[in-house]
Structure 1
Amino acid sequence: MISLPTNLPTRETLARSQVLRRSWPFVMDLAVAVIGLAVFYCIVLIAKFWAGPPNTQMVVSLSPRALPAYAFYSVVRIGLAYLLSLAFAIAYGYTAAYNTRIEPFMIAVLDILQSIPVLSFLPGVMLAMVGLFPTRHLGVELGAIVLIFTGAVWNMAFSFYSSLKSIPRELIEATRVYRYSPFQRLVQLELPYAAIGLLWNSIMSVAGAWFFLMACEMFHFRSQDFRLPGLGSYLQTAADQGNGHAIAWGLFTMVAIIVATDQLLWRPLIAWSDKFKFEQVESSKRVASPILALLTQSNALTALKEHTTEPLTEYVYTRYAERRIAILKRQEGRPPAAPSKSANLLAYALIAIAAVVVLYLARQTLILISPLQRSQYLELLKGAAATFGRVNLSLALAAAWTIPVGVAIGFHPRLARIAQPLAQIAASVPATALFPVILLALVRIGGGLGIGSIALMLLGTQWYILFNVIAGALAIPTDLKEVATLFHFSTLQRWKTVILPGIFPFLITGMVTASGGAWNASIIAEYFRLNNQTLQTVGLGAMISNATEQGQFPILLLGTVMISLMVVTTNRLVWRPLFRLAETRYRLGA
């Protein structure tokens, strides 16, 4: 006698499961429609607010009831600054990676720009934007967005550039054999290969935007007081007044936004980007996202993909292929064309114009700083040495813990589900909001702002290294990990032969951007206001902050130039050789 299992599903259970399968796509379609309507309403609301006259006497309310509106304005500013950063990073990184003549110049410019503090951009950017739109609130908003952009874009540009330089040679050769157009190569090879690093640096950029939000939404310049409604100005006002309850409400709102962003945006993107890992053996440990799983079941999104995205993509690819084949046929049998004399003359003319502009700017700089006294030069040199020491000490302390922790998170998806949102929250919470507590604790144990500034730099820059190390650990092919397991590598052998070589390009990118971030954070770390008192220590950051507030352009300009020179020199002597090593010796390939 054969006994049947008693746990078989009944007809009612099967019918209920089929109803659920049919209902989930409908729920997702409804959710997509609601999100679309909400986005449209938000666009109308923002356009109406920005088109209004500027409010020069705005008072930041510390009531918790004002937080939803403030949070909305800050999220919009950060979102627009991120989209601008993403477009700039892809365009700049692509141009630098594939133009060998201007590559050294572009990387040098990137080194300089990522090291210049936000407050050095502030007067020129804000005055220019307000001058463009003097009768609209749009000018002040665009100024804040551009300032957030200057604090968030550089690590993304470095990440995309580094990924392009480390693409395996056999993949590049395959695109040449199949005669890919530059657009096809970008969409089907370069963006997918750079997706993991670009995504984790995007998380860091948004976290950095939250870090500098307080400086971008509320600042003083001479007699002018620029204030924007937002979480940054709310936390800055609460910190200035020493209002602990308001700081707690502001941080709670910020953490809630960060958690929601992680679950609704970053977690699905991380799970989606896992398919772009360069490996020959599929990993059994995949990052999962319920939101991504639900989105794939949406009938509306599936229909949009089948009837709009896929046909449009096929049409574009076909047109590019036909055009490229026609160009190659015309070029067959022809000798390579020599550069025309007019092109050479144009290049020489552009170089001459650029040289004249540089000489003029150098002359204007010398004229502007000529009134400075010898004592001021000595103060600047002393401040430069002090800030240089703090920056390097904060980098060493950050690397000591972020490398092992980042590798552990990248190698264990279960740990990543817990640790990644926590790291994102910790990276996004402005250290300036926590700094009063840290500073008071240091004062009690006998420390001061000299030590506190290192702690603040560490809080602001260690995440650049951590997120890049996580991205590097995730990008290590599964087959390399399995070979290490198969041959019973010891922990030391695994680190020497698999982990450190695998994360090396990402680690160098993180260290470079962390170095620039530390210099940038010095403007806040060395000059701090607490309970209507100004605390400062010896350093270039303190001098730049004070000069910005007082409108002392000679000191502001010379301090910024000194930071740029030190960063460029360090990059040329240390980081650039390590970048070349990452491109050659530690490059994945057959």
Structure 2
Amino acid sequence: MTMFSFNHAAMRPSSPARNPSTSSADRQPFAVRIAADALVIAGILALFGLIAWILPAIGEPIGPKGVPSSVSTNLADLPYYALRSVFRMFVALFFSLVFTFVYGTAAARCRRLSRVLIPLLDILQSVPILGFLSATITIWMVLFPGSMLGVEAASIFAIFTSQAWNMAFSFTRSLTSEPRELDEAARSLRLTRWQRFWTLDVPNAMIPLLWNCMMSVGGGWFFLTASEMISVNNHTYALPGIGSFVAQAAAEENLAAICWAIVTMVAVVLLIDVLLWKPLTAWAEKFRITQSESAVRKTSAVLTIIRQSHIDEMLDRLFQPVGELFDTLTRPLGRTGGRWPVETKSTRSRVLDVLFMVVVVTASAFGVIELMLVIHRDAGFDELGHALALGMLTFLRVALLTIVCSVIWVPVGALIGMNPRVSRFMQPIVQVLASFPSNFTFPFVTLWFVACSVNINWGSILLMALGTQWYILFNVIAGASQIPDDLREMAHSFQLGRWQRWRELILPAVFGSWVTGGITAAGGAWNASIVSEIVSYGQHTLTASGLGAYIAEATENGDTVRTIIGVAVMSVFVVAVNRLFWNPLQRLAERRFALN
């Protein structure tokens, strides 16, 4: 297979197997390489210059009036606000990647820990960002007293909680569905844990992880307003950013400012797509499992310039010592060896499993009992019943949204992922639509709902779909793009009809990706309910009956007990649906439809 190269050079963590096409850079004229170096260096200097310009304002002291509760809607500030938002977004994405690698590896490789980490991931993705903000805003302010850095850290953490979970789900699934022959190759070569991680685990997960990174950034944009204009415990903390700009403009009923913010946001999304996502998706093609090169290769002008420069060689020299250091540090963890793991367990292992489960169940039971006592003392079980009824209404919205989005986007995603020509045209469009924060349009949608007398109980489903449908689409695109070319050619050789090709090849191949997308889309929809079931523009406020609106109102009013009740009920719904519906489908995907 051309996906991985298990030679000595490839085993070096800092020197992944290179695509043969990259060697053509060495044959470029000297002047071309110098020009490419100049462009790359100019880009790096510009990036560091922008970061150096932004950093002083992030750590500035809080003034005598405290943290501002509003921001300026002066259009001249909009470019600076956009840079601040992009900076927060990618700092959060960096920490999300670190979390994904650590958490996903532990959940996939440690059988005992996986029994806790995977259900815990279900719970974490079900907790809305307002729940995280309510619990952590004070902690961040204490950690950085008298500095705006505390509020900045709270905002970045909120964005992190909207990005990390779907990336961790995707990475965990990629590790548990690795092709068996590649796993056997890694074991036969006795790779260290670090070598296996960078030569098999990460490359195998690269394409779906990359698409989920795109989706995570889109999810971060969706919750940008809530994470930059933080309203908790009867306090509002406003940070300079394009999300807070839109929130302030909506409060002032300034439609012109909102329109300019939308134009700025579209420009930002297009720039990120051209400078980052398009080069990465073209570069990631070398990680596809295939025996032949794709007939239509993805290209990127930015990637071409980078390949013609010397930056690859410089990064290799820079990170090789780091990779060797991690390799040395992880050698005590052992090597990848032995045969494919079998199901037999020793008596000691069974005893440890029982003790581990006893500790987990005891801790969980203690937490539930304490929660019930707090609810009984401060709110009463009638309030809990009310929250459960509201949760059922939100659940019906989420279920309807997931079904409709699956019917629409699975065929579209498969078409984009399997056809490079369609992908080249559609990917930028899809990326712009997914990355664009749809809640920026909520003021206009609110006015439309008011003018046309649209019931917000139904309209909130549309608002939730605008931000969560892309999880299904992006995961299906990633799954379809990983279908080996030889399987496609076999289907063509057998002259399978259109329906047969879908039934025998496409749907089974993307089934696991759809399950991953469905889990994260459903979790994202529950999260999105907090900003979709209650929308406002100026003096107009529309509130739907649902758990999202319940949590949003409780958080804004500083009602801690009802916030806890709402978050707990939402977690119960999400975990129950995942346990009863999504997890059996995930096991079915791993058992019957994995390419191993």
**Fold shared by both chains (TM-score > 0.5):** yes
Contact 1:438 1:452 in 2 (8 A): no
The C-alpha deviation readout for 1:350-381, integer Å capped at 9, x for no partner, is 87776665455334422331232465334323
- What does residue range 237-316 of structure 1 map to in structure 2 within 5 Å? 237-299=248-310, 301-305=311-315, 307-309=317-319
Contact 1:439 1:448 in 2 (8 A): no
C-alpha distance in 1, partners of 2:324/2:155? 40
Q: CA shift at 1:558, angstroms?
A: 1.1
Q: Which residue of 2 aligns with 1:113?
A: 124
**Pick aligned residue for 1:559 from 554, 566, 573:** 566
Contact 1:382 1:538 in 2 (8 A): no
Q: Which residue of 1 aligns with 2:371?
A: 365
Contact 1:97 1:103 in 2 (8 A): yes
1:482 maps onto 2:489 in alignment: yes
Q: Which residue of 2 aligns with 1:179?
A: 190
Q: CA shift at 1:156, angstroms?
A: 0.2
Q: Which residue of 2 aligns with 1:496?
A: 503
Question: Judging changes above 3 Å, is the alpha-carbon distance between structure 1 residues 175 and 61 closer, same or farther for their aligned structure 2 residues?
Answer: same
- What does residue range 39-118 of structure 1 map to in structure 2 within 5 Å? 39-55=47-63, 56-57=67-68, 59-118=70-129
Question: Judging changes above 3 Å, is the alpha-carbon distance between structure 1 residues 447 and 43 closer, same or farther for their aligned structure 2 residues?
Answer: closer
Q: Which residue of 1 aligns with 2:46?
A: 38
Mean CA deviation greater in 57-66 or 563-572: 57-66
C-alpha distance in 1, partners of 2:562/2:210? 38
Q: CA shift at 1:40, angstroms?
A: 3.1
C-alpha distance in 1, partners of 2:252/2:494? 61
C-alpha distance in 2, partners of 1:83/1:35? 20
1:101 counterpart SS class: helix
Contact 1:279 1:477 in 2 (8 A): yes
1:26 counterpart SS class: helix
How many residue pairs get aligned? The number is 561
Counterpart code for 2:375: I
Question: Judging changes above 3 Å, is the alpha-carbon distance between structure 1 residues 309 and 65 closer, same or farther for their aligned structure 2 residues?
Answer: same
Contact 1:60 1:237 in 2 (8 A): yes
Contact 1:24 1:294 in 2 (8 A): no
Q: Which residue of 1 aligns with 2:531?
A: 524
Q: Is the radius of gyration larger for structure 1 or structure 2?
A: 1
Q: CA shift at 1:448, angstroms?
A: 1.6
Q: Which residue of 2 aligns with 1:5?
A: none
Question: Judging changes above 3 Å, is the alpha-carbon distance between structure 1 residues 131 and 317 closer, same or farther for their aligned structure 2 residues?
Answer: closer
Contact 2:84 2:241 in 1 (8 A): yes
Q: CA shift at 1:41, angstroms?
A: 2.9
Taking structure 2 as the reference length, what is the TM-score of the superposition? 0.88
C-alpha distance in 2, partners of 1:312/1:365? 46
Contact 1:78 1:209 in 2 (8 A): yes
Q: CA shift at 1:306, angstroms?
A: 6.1
C-alpha distance in 2, partners of 1:315/1:216? 37
Counterpart code for 1:254: M
Mean CA deviation greater in 25-34 or 162-171: 25-34
**Pick aligned residue for 1:23 from 28, 31, 47:** 31
C-alpha distance in 2, partners of 1:280/1:194? 18
Contact 1:241 1:532 in 2 (8 A): no
Counterpart code for 2:542: L
- What does residue range 188-267 of structure 1 map to in structure 2 within 5 Å? 188-267=199-278
Question: Judging changes above 3 Å, is the alpha-carbon distance between structure 1 residues 135 and 421 closer, same or farther for their aligned structure 2 residues?
Answer: same
The C-alpha deviation readout for 1:454-485, integer Å capped at 9, x for no partner, is 00111011000000011011000011111111
Counterpart code for 2:153: L
C-alpha distance in 2, partners of 1:496/1:550? 52
Q: CA shift at 1:271, angstroms?
A: 0.7
Q: Which residue of 1 aligns with 2:456?
A: 449
Contact 1:449 1:536 in 2 (8 A): yes
Question: Judging changes above 3 Å, is the alpha-carbon distance between structure 1 residues 20 and 161 closer, same or farther for their aligned structure 2 residues?
Answer: closer
Mean CA deviation greater in 452-461 or 36-45: 36-45
Q: CA shift at 1:313, angstroms?
A: 5.6
Q: Which residue of 1 aligns with 2:440?
A: 433
C-alpha distance in 2, partners of 1:352/1:496? 44
Q: Which residue of 2 aligns with 1:405?
A: 412
**Pick aligned residue for 2:465 from 428, 434, 458:** 458
C-alpha distance in 2, partners of 1:534/1:312? 54
Q: CA shift at 1:192, angstroms?
A: 0.3
Counterpart code for 2:256: H
Q: CA shift at 1:315, angstroms?
A: 8.8
Contact 1:547 1:553 in 2 (8 A): yes
Counterpart code for 1:31: L
Q: Which residue of 1 aligns with 2:24?
A: none
Counterpart code for 1:134: P
Counterpart code for 2:372: L
Q: Which residue of 1 aligns with 2:135?
A: 124
Unpaired stretches in structure 2, ≥5 consecutive residues:
1-26, 338-345
Contact 2:193 2:330 in 1 (8 A): no
Contact 1:239 1:433 in 2 (8 A): no
Q: Which residue of 1 aligns with 2:542?
A: 535
Contact 1:125 1:147 in 2 (8 A): no
Q: CA shift at 1:309, angstroms?
A: 4.8
Q: CA shift at 1:400, angstroms?
A: 1.6
Unpaired stretches in structure 1, ≥5 consecutive residues:
1-18, 329-337
